[in-house]
Structure 1
Amino acid sequence: MLDLQRIKAISLDLDDTLWPILPTIERAEKMLHDWMVDHAPMTAALFSSPSALREIRDHMAANRPDLKNDLSAVRRESIRLALYRAGENPLLAEQAFEVFFAARQRVTLFDDALPALAYLAERFPLVTISNGNADVGRVGLGAYFRATISAREFGVGKPDPRIFHAAAGALELTTDSILHIGDDATLDVLGSINAGMQAAWVNRSDHLWPHEQQPHLTLSNLTELCELFKAQA
């Protein structure tokens, strides 16, 4: 059971916790493809099929394991490899990636996300913990967070306990005083529990819980958490 009295700060996942990630990535990939059609048409044609794109991703995973925690670098270098294989200028990769990255930051928040962030940020210091490459400043949510911890900058990702400890350290707290909120049962919930945090599972789609160890709290939306704190007040 969740112990509200212990909570001095809250850490949050981003993708699929504050906004749905699939439509965001699909939109960004379409923007990238449209840019490629105009600036690198051979690459756009050669790598327009899902199987070709999957082969590029598999190649990057096998040959650049050093980039596994940096999704931006994986995406940029995948574009560079595609340009090279299509016989076009690999130097276009930087500009192409920026087209994708800018579109990737244009997210559509879940309806409960912004009111919840506003409520929680008035009561607790908030920190993000993400394996992705969202930029909360560019997304427009930077004002709500005291710190942001990303796998890309930290060097390891969830569920490694070290990234959760880094988030606690950024707030000058210990992990046992932090509630972590996220949608991924393994990366967010088990990862944060193993790091000593309390964990809230955001289950927006009525999934079955897949592990023996249980979250301290299960939510269908972030409004439910705010209502818990309001009831305590």
Structure 2
Amino acid sequence: MELKPLLHPLITKPWMDTVSQIKLISFDLDETLWPSTEVLRKAEEVQLQWLEKKAPRLTLVHNIESLKEHRQLVRKVYPEIAYNLTAVRMISLSQLLKEFGYSLALAKEAINIFLEARNQITPYPDVIPVLEYLIKNYTLASITNGNAEVSQTSLKNYFQISLTPAIAGTAKPDPDMFYQILKKVRIKPYQAIHIGDHPTYDIVAAQQVGMHAIWINRNEMMWPEELPPPNSMINNLYELEQWL
């Protein structure tokens, strides 16, 4: 698939001047540092298997898909917490457990089962070698809309700061996700680079607060023509290491 040409400032003198000012590099997680489809599928299966033992009346009626549909309904009914996937899961399971006559305490246990499996990630091959290099020179942060906890994954030793919707009280593309990270490190937006796979939630959102934004395009996707371009595009983190 042919990619739309993108400006490549990383190899120009202005970009080299910019690099010398960078203090923080933040990363999205799912599809940026690891593939998430299989991880999420397995986590849902592990949780359902646990529920089959602990709440069999519920699982006689519900499967993975119908549980997902119920969570979507919860997000519509409670828009104020829709950004927090773990909170949505808690409310959804609590409602269903109550409906089928089970203790609400099972909801928290079920979520812990899910999250434990959710954090069993396998990073892309380029991730650990490049993080090993970057951590020597930069503060590294993670900013995710998901409910993976970096501190519970195999990448726990590489990130000084990790921000999730449950911690931040919001989610990307809300600029406050990025402002919170910048405030923690006490730096200006131009001193930070954000790297992510989502054109709107990662790239445009980071640029709008004044951060540099690099689109990691692992799957040869087309950049949306209606959006302003990223500062640059990479296919893997080795390219980022070379440029820096």
Structure 1 length as normaliser, TM-score?
0.92
**Which residue is 2:71 aligned to?**
57
CA distance in 1, matches of 2:149, 2:64: 29
Query: How many Å apart are 1:199 and its aligned residue?
Result: 0.4
* Residue 117 (structure 2) pairs with residue 103 (structure 1): yes
What is the CA deviation profile of residues 161-180 of structure 1, one whole-angstrom value per residue up to 9, with x for unaligned ones?
12111111111111111010
Higher-RCO chain (CA-CA 8 Å, sequence separation at least 6): 2
Aligned ranges 1:70-81 → 2 under 5 Å: 70-81=84-95
CA contact (8 A) 1:46 1:86 kept: no
CA contact (8 A) 1:36 1:44 kept: yes
Question: The residue matched to 1:11 in structure 2 has which SS?
Answer: strand
Structure 2 length as normaliser, TM-score?
0.88
Aligned match for 1:141, one of 155, 165, 178: 155
CA distance in 2, matches of 1:7, 1:118: 17
CA contact (8 A) 1:200 1:217 kept: yes
CA contact (8 A) 1:189 1:200 kept: yes
User: What percentage of residue pairs aligned between the two structures are identical?
Assistant: 33
Question: The residue matched to 2:135 in structure 1 has which SS?
Answer: helix
Aligned ranges 1:185-204 → 2 under 5 Å: 185-204=199-218
CA distance in 2, matches of 1:153, 1:129: 10
Query: How many Å apart are 1:90 and its aligned residue?
Result: 2.8
Give the residue type in structure 2 aligned to 1:126: L
CA distance in 2, matches of 1:134, 1:115: 21
Question: The residue matched to 1:199 in structure 2 has which SS?
Answer: strand
Query: How many Å apart are 1:7 and its aligned residue?
Result: 1.9
What is the CA deviation profile of residues 69-127 of structure 1, one whole-angstrom value per residue up to 9, with x for unaligned ones?
22111112222222223333333111111111111111111111111111111111111
5+ unaligned residues in a row in structure 1: which ranges? none
* Residue 126 (structure 2) pairs with residue 112 (structure 1): yes
CA contact (8 A) 1:146 1:171 kept: no
For the structure 1 residues 54 and 171, does the alpha-carbon distance in structure 2 shift closer, same or farther, using more than 3 Å as the test?
A: same
Q: CA RMSD in A?
A: 1.5
5+ unaligned residues in a row in structure 2: which ranges? 1-8
Give the residue type in structure 1 aligned to 2:216: V
Higher mean alpha-carbon deviation, 180-189 vs 132-141, is at 132-141
CA contact (8 A) 1:47 1:82 kept: no
CA distance in 1, matches of 2:236, 2:23: 21
**Which residue is 1:44 aligned to?**
59
CA distance in 2, matches of 1:196, 1:161: 10
Question: The residue matched to 1:62 in structure 2 has which SS?
Answer: helix
Aligned match for 1:174, one of 188, 202, 216: 188
The alignment covers a number of residue pairs equal to 228
CA distance in 2, matches of 1:226, 1:198: 16
* Residue 233 (structure 2) pairs with residue 218 (structure 1): yes
CA contact (8 A) 1:202 1:218 kept: yes
**Which residue is 2:23 aligned to?**
8
Give the residue type in structure 2 aligned to 1:159: P
**Which residue is 2:6 aligned to?**
none
**Which residue is 1:132 aligned to?**
146
CA distance in 2, matches of 1:115, 1:64: 42
For the structure 1 residues 120 and 77, does the alpha-carbon distance in structure 2 shift closer, same or farther, using more than 3 Å as the test?
A: same
Question: The residue matched to 2:114 in structure 1 has which SS?
Answer: helix
Query: How many Å apart are 1:49 and its aligned residue?
Result: 5.6
Question: The residue matched to 2:181 in structure 1 has which SS?
Answer: helix
CA distance in 2, matches of 1:124, 1:146: 10
Question: The residue matched to 2:112 in structure 1 has which SS?
Answer: helix
Question: The residue matched to 1:180 in structure 2 has which SS?
Answer: strand
